[in-house]
Structure 1
Amino acid sequence: MRSTHNRRDDRGFTLVELLIVIVILGILATITVFAVRGITNKGQESACAADLKTFETAEEANMAQFGEYTDEATLVSNG
């Protein structure tokens, strides 16, 4: 004999299970974005510090060669 009540097919995922997975993936994506953003900012800071050190070295070389630091007009005209 067959049962008279409808039986649910247990093969698929429920809507709640799918929503939980989507929320977890969203949280992981957010964490990843902020981690990458932090790494990018640190890289930019390091590049800026290296550029500043290069400028400082060039100014010290100019002082050693000519006895004075570069003035603003020379910096602007040389680009």
Structure 2
Amino acid sequence: MLKPELQAKFLQHINRKKKDDEGFTLIELLVVVIIIGILAAIALPSLLGQVNKAKQSEAKNNIGAVNRAQQAFFLEYQGFASSLSSLQAGVKTQTDNFSYVVASAAASASSFVQVVAVAQKPALKSYYGATYTAVGDGNTSEALTLAVACESIVPTRTVASISTAAAATGCQTGFTSLAR
């Protein structure tokens, strides 16, 4: 067994050593900060891309809702609505991300209508939907209401008007169909 004086000195030595070992060194802290920085640099672009996808889903949903509402409106009134307010689809004409406009040529308003979702921010894609009538196949002469929804290939803040023939063949140049 140790003498009490040696025991006290030994305990003091152990206590002193524990106090010296507390905390992190500067190098350890720098390594942690660098690792966090690398992870943030990898994750941030992916996160920002997901934010834009979420914003764009607003336009996709609204274009689809307006197309379906126009088809229902046509069944009721044998013509298409000329504005979002008369359509009563619950779609605002302006949001933080998109501006929505119903466009139709006055002469063909009974057979074709287009709704446009123009991006309000440069990083977002624009969209349009077209609803039109077509005569059924050879077995029936009923009028059918058909719809197309298109998304710009690259972010843009413009959408050109299209015709019934262009809608029937698909999306205009620079746009891709949402029906995949």
Partner Cα distance (1:28, 1:38) in 2: 16
2:85 maps to 75
Give the corresponding residue for 2:145.
none
Deviation at 1:14, TM superposition (A): 4.1
Counterpart-to-counterpart distance in 2, 1:60 and 1:13: 68
Look up the equivalent residue of 1:28 and give its one-letter code.
Answer: L
- TM-score normalized by the length of structure 1: 0.61
1:1-79 to structure 2, matched below 5 A, reads: 11=21, 13-72=24-83, 75=85
Q: How many residues align?
A: 68
Aligned letter for 2:46? A
Task: Kindly report the root-mean-square deviation, in angstroms, between the aligned alpha carbons of the 2 structures.
Answer: 2.7
How far residue 48 of structure 1 moved from its aligned partner, in angstroms, is: 1.8
Larger fraction in helix: 1
Identity over the aligned pairs, expressed in percent? 30
Structure number with higher relative contact order (C-alpha < 8 Å, ≥ 6 residues apart): 2
The letter of the residue matching 1:54 is A
1:43 Cα deviation after fit: 2.1
Q: Which amino acid aligns with 2:68?
A: T
